[in-house]
């Protein structure tokens, strides 16, 4: 599995993300600076990391989405490539139009930084297939603008096409208002593109990939990709 991580000024999860990929694939991820206009050839996955690209100026992810490299990332996605956007990377994917909706300021106005539980809503994606029968994952969030919003007709479509990948839930998997850290509509924590090859999610799976750090539920996102992409 050949991966690349895009680096914007203000990205701060790029190294963690590269390490998570290397851990499952055994090969280093290529770091690609935002001013590049082309991606390395033969890539399987492009990832957009968390952080505060361009200081969150204008809107979170808005300036990064207009970076030179994002044209190449959009073409990669439109050509069927796999793209993973985490936290600020999710915001960039929305601003690019590769995923629908928007992320607003958290309903409680607080920056939320803690582990949350996620219900795996579909295992039918290259990012979630390792959960097999679904289940609950514990993965940290760290964001101020994670309040996901789409209009009602798009929301129906996301549900109808099983494109909600993760929802915020309690430890037992109950999707409740109390378990919603940011006010996201329908507790949505991650969504898929129509071809299921682009995933944007607010939680940080790359931060919980190693038992030495207190858990490894996050590794399943990367193991799923490996399972979907590694030559049999």
Partner 1 sequence: MHARVHITLKPGVLDPQGEAVRHALGAIGFNGVNGVRQGKVIDLDLHGIEPAQAEEQVRQMCEKLLANTVIENYTVEIL
Is-catalytic flag, 13?
Answer: no
| Piece of the chain touching partner 1 by CB under 8 A; list 28-36, 44-52, 94-102, 218-226 | 94-102
Residue from the set 49, 50, 51, 101 that interacts with partner 1 by CB under 8 A? 101
Q: How far from 207 is each of 51, 53, 136, 156, CA to CA, in Å?
A: 13, 18, 17, 31
Record the tokens describing residue 175, joined without a space: 């999707």
Instruction: Kindly name the residue from 87, 95, 169, 223 that is annotated as catalytic.
Output: 87
Tell me the β-bridge partners of 201: 86, 190
Residue from the set 102, 136, 142, 229 that interacts with partner 1 by CB under 8 A? 102
Running DSSP on this structure, what letter comes out for residue 209? -
Residue from the set 15, 105, 138, 157 that interacts with partner 1 by CB under 8 A? 105
Residue 183 interacting with partner 1 (CB under 8 A): yes
Sign of the CA dihedral running 61, 62, 65, 67 = negative
Record the tokens describing residue 58, joined without a space: 């204008």
Please state the separation of Cα 175 from the chain's center in Å. 20
Residue 194 interacting with partner 1 (CB under 8 A): no
Give the x/- contact pattern for partner 1 in 148-167, rule: CB under 8 A: -x------------------
Q: Are 4 and 45 in contact (CB under 8 A)?
A: yes
Residue 107 interacting with partner 1 (CB under 8 A): yes
- The dihedrals phi and psi of 166, each to the nearest 5 degrees, come to -135, 145
Q: Under rule CB under 8 A, which residues in 112-141 are in contact with partner 1?
A: none
Judged by DSSP in three states, 14 sits in helix
Residue from the set 59, 115, 162, 215 that interacts with partner 1 by CB under 8 A? 59
> What are the residue numbers of the active site?
87, 204, 206
Residues in the site for partner 1, rule: CB under 8 A? 58-59, 62, 66, 94-95, 100-102, 104-109, 147, 149, 183
């Amino acid at each position: 599995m050949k991966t690349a991580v895009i680096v914007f000024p203000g990205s701060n999860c790029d190294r963690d993300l590269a390490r998570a990929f290397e851990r499952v694939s055994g090969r280093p991820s290529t770091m690609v600076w935002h001013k590049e206009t082309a991606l390395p050839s033969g890539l399987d996955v492009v990832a957009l990391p968390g952080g505060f690209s361009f200081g969150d100026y204008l809107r979170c992810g808005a300036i990064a989405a207009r970076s030179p490299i994002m044209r190449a990332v959009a073409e990669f996605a439109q050509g069927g490539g796999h793209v993973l956007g985490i936290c600020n990377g999710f915001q960039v994917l929305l601003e690019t139009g590769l995923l629908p909706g928007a992320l607003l300021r958290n309903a409680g106005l607080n920056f939320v930084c803690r582990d949350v539980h996620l219900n795996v809503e579909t295992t039918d994606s290259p990012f979630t297939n390792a959960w097999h029968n679904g289940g609950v994952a514990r993965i940290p969030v760290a964001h101020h603008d994670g309040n996901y919003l789409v209009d009602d007709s798009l929301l129906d479509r996301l549900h109808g096409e099983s494109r909600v990948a993760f929802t915020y839930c309690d430890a037992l998997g109950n999707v409740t208002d109390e378990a919603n850290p940011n006010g996201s509509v329908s507790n949505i924590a991650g969504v898929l593109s129509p071809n299921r090859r682009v995933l944007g999610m607010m939680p940080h799976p790359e931060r919980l990939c190693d038992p030495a750090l207190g858990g490894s539920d996050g590794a399943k996102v990367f193991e799923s990709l490996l399972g979907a992409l590694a030559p049999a």
